[in-house]
Amino acid sequence: YGIVAFVTYYRSTREEYERAAQLRLQTEHLKAELADARLAALERQIQPHFLFNTLNTISSVMYDDLDTADRMISNLSALLRMSLERAEDPKIPLREELAITELYLDIMSARFTDRLEVDFDVDAAARPCLVPTLVLQPLVENAIKHNPPRADRPARVRVSAHMAADGDLVVAVE
């Protein structure tokens, strides 16, 4: 009986150890996938073409309008810093997401001068609500990309947020 009990205990302990090792391996795999997803989200957030266009714009205006170039560098730095700091947070308050989006739009406004019109209509009650991190800027970027400023008309972007009657947060980028 003792040998049978020992063998049974040994097998169950070994199986538990193997399951624990497998769970640790799955956990590490999921952590790696999460890190990759965060990096991919950050790469989508700050597209290389946006960065290159911003740097080119800064380069072109720095000889004519040093204040605008300085503001663009400061905003780009703040945008990168905020994006990196918030990349690991799955959700942030809408007010912080709006701050990131406003930095982006200020850079784009300097780039397109008077050919970009921006309107924010955000209820105060909506500002503390949690939203997915880095959700607005790519939508605003797409709105500008698919409605680019032209010589005959500016691009118009409107960001709105309000609380619906059922208590849901409604955010729109037009």
Contact 93, 125 (CB under 8 A): no
pLDDT reported for residue 159: 95
Phi and psi (nearest 5°) for 9? -60, -45
Dump pLDDT digits (tens) for 138-159: 888 888 888 877 778 888 899 9
Rg (C-alpha) for the chain, rounded Å, is 25
Averaged confidence pLDDT in the chain: 84
Q: What is the mean pLDDT of residues 6-20?
A: 85
The residue assigned the tokens 């957030």 is 45
The 10s digit of each residue's pLDDT in 91-125 is 889 999 999 889 888 888 887 777 888 899 999 99
CA angle 53, 84, 116 (to 5 degrees): 35
User: Residue 44: pLDDT above 80?
Assistant: no
Residue that wins the pLDDT comparison between 119 and 10: 119
Whether 83 has a pLDDT exceeding 70, the answer reads: yes
